[in-house]
Amino acid sequence: IHYLGAWLAGNGCVPIHNLMEDAATAEISRSQVWQWIRSPKGVLDDGRKVTTELVRAFIMEELAKVKASGAEGHFDRASQIFDQMSTADGFTEFLTLPLYEEV
């Protein structure tokens, strides 16, 4: 969400937790979440199954954190996009493809 919000604001490489992150990192994260929701092996260390509802709860937590950090970006829209692309029935080929209309 942090990266997507910055990407929508025009930044292609963003420092997150002292690392420079780019679209590939965000794409890997989104792809993993999409797969975990659909896989019986999509289980957290604490035993909870990764579900659409759980992912949406985490999205809201992360949205609150990034807003509280004072970072600049389009984070509300980024959280909507991450939600749509990680919970959709079909798999979108690459995270940024549907976003080009918005930048």
- CATH code: domain of residue 74: 1.20.1220.12
Its pTM stands at 0.85
Which residues, at least 6 apart from 8, have a Cβ–Cβ distance to it below 8 Å?
73, 74, 77, 78, 99, 102, 103
Q: Is the pLDDT of residue 12 over 80?
A: no
Give the model's confidence band at 98: pLDDT under 50 very low, under 70 low, under 90 confident, else very high. Answer: confident
Tokens at 74, concatenated: 């389009």
Which residues, at least 6 apart from 75, have a Cβ–Cβ distance to it below 8 Å?
1, 2, 5, 63, 66, 67
Residue 61 lies in a domain: yes
Instruction: Give the H or E element holding residue 67.
Output: helix 52-68
Q: Are 33 and 86 in contact (CB under 8 A)?
A: yes
Q: Tell me which residue range forms the domain holding 11.
A: 2-95
Closest CA to 12 of 25, 60, 85, 65: 25
Which tens digit of pLDDT belongs to each residue from 16-64?
777 777 788 888 999 999 999 999 999 999 999 999 999 999 999 999 9
pLDDT higher at 29 or 95: 29
Residue 100 lies in a domain: no
Residue 101 lies in a domain: no
Q: What total of structural domains would you count in the chain?
A: 1
Average pLDDT (4-26) is 79
Closest CA to 42 of 25, 55, 60: 55
